[in-house]
Amino acid sequence: MDHPPVVPPPQPRGLVMFDFDGTIVDSRETYTIALLEACRSCGVTTISTPRDVLALFAGNLFEGMRRAGLDDETITAVNRRAADGYLEGLARLRAFPHMTEVLSRLAATHHVAVVTSNSADAVAAGLRRLGAQGVAEVLGSEQGFGKVAKIAGLMARFPDRAPCWFVGDTTGDMSEARLAGAVPLGVAWGWHAAEALRAAGAARIAATPAEIVTIVAADRRPAAPPRA
Each residue's pLDDT tens digit, 145-201: 889 999 999 999 886 666 799 999 999 999 999 999 999 999 999 999 999 999 999
Asked if residue 57 belongs to a domain, the reply is yes
**Domain match, 50 and 101 both:** no
Asked if residue 227 belongs to a domain, the reply is no
Structural domain containing residue 149: 14-26+94-217
Quote the pLDDT of residue 218: 84
Query: Of 36, 61, 91, at which residue does a domain stop?
Result: 91
Q: Check whether 14 has a pLDDT greater than 90.
A: no
Give the number of domains in the chain. Answer: 2
Quote the pLDDT of residue 9: 45
Asked if residue 153 belongs to a domain, the reply is yes
Asked if residue 118 belongs to a domain, the reply is yes
**pTM here?**
0.86
For the chain, the three-class secondary structure string (H helix, E strand, C coil) is CCCCCCCCCCCCCEEEEECCECCCECCHHHHHHHHHHHHHHCCCCCCCCHHHHHHHCCCCHHHHHHHCCCCHHHHHHHHHHHHHHHHHCHHHCCECCCHHHHHHHHHCCEEEEEECCCCHHHHHHHHHHHCCCCEEEEECHHHCCCCHHHHHHHHCCCCCCCCEEEEECCHHHHHHHHHHCCEEEEECCCCCCHHHHHHCCCCEEECCHHHHHHHHHCCCCCCCCCCC
Quote the pLDDT of residue 59: 87
Asked if residue 60 belongs to a domain, the reply is yes
Q: Check whether 12 has a pLDDT greater than 70.
A: no
Average pLDDT for 33-46: 97
pLDDT band at 223 (very low <50, low <70, confident <90, very high): very low
